[in-house]
Structure 1
Amino acid sequence: MNIEQIWKAYKNHLKAFLHANINNPADVDDLLQEILIKSYLNLKTIKDNTSINAWLFQIARRTIIDFYRQKGRDQKLGDDELWYRQEQPGVHTQLARCLTPFIQSLTAKDAELLTQIEINGLSQKTYAEQNQLKYSTLKSRVQKAREQLHKRFSDCCELSLDAQGNISDFTPKNTQCKKC
């Protein structure tokens, strides 16, 4: 793999990792660039392509440590500046703000269905029994409603997924998306 392929595959994951550990977005961008330079300069040391992920995140961890060491030399850090003492809203917390407006933008039937199952935590079997629906029919409706909800998120934001398919980062596609 060359640096362009590696960077394309891992940039969003690294940026999400940095955001979780650094509270200043400008510092995150600087550190991301520093990680790119370090990985470019040391790419020849990689012997096994399957270890690229671990190698990049090791560079990221060391870069964060170096960042805080340098910052510590420059000034005494207060509790409000330490990333591990701050409650930062994660990707899921930020996207959760969009959930209710997006659900409400669905048809009334789909909105009620997802509200009961996804928000209120009602089991699909219980919902099917309460509404005299076949369980298999309800499962299909839930799947279709989830697809519509996913489309709402995809129309608004560019979602980055990790290796397990979980959302690791997002970028709004435009400033007109004010649902959340």
Structure 2
Amino acid sequence: MARPREFDRDTALQRAIEVFAAHGFEGTSTPMLLEAMKIGRQSLYDTFGDKRRLYLEALRRYSDDSTGATLSAMFASDAVLEGIERALLGFVDDAVSGAAPACLGIHAVTEFGTSEPDVRAVTDAVGHRTLLAFESRLRDGVERGELAADLDPAAAAQFLLATLSGLKVAARGGASRAVLHGIVGVALRALVPF
């Protein structure tokens, strides 16, 4: 008869996310995970499978949560520019908070690029979902006259997606909240009519 689990799976997964975000897949050892997750080796394998499967589950969970928060902020306001600003500033707050000083999604992209299909499937899905949301909001903003009439929503959405990535990298490099807010301000000014 199997022993019941003596830990909370979601808490353990959140701790794994933090370790992978800070150290990447290759930089994270199984002993580091066990210590952070406060579980034994057998519990890790019984509950999550191997390190790779744990990493992919952690990446999916982190990506879903992070993207959900960004998109919720983006659509929280009827005013398009205000919604985009909320999304970007929320991303900044997350990037500089003690709770999420490193981004697992950015780490996955920089560590693996396009070399690992299972990792790329997760990062591509998140990027695509975010891109579509930005493009939808931008089209709406152009149609309503809130944004520059000659703005290309597809290109601007790519720009905003790159801005999100750049904000996380800059935060990881030690950029202050004020510096990151300045980047957001420049990005927003690029969208408004002259």
Answer whether TM exceeds 0.5 for this pair.
Answer: no
- Give TM-score scaled by structure 2 length: 0.27
Q: Larger radius of gyration, structure 1 or 2?
A: 1
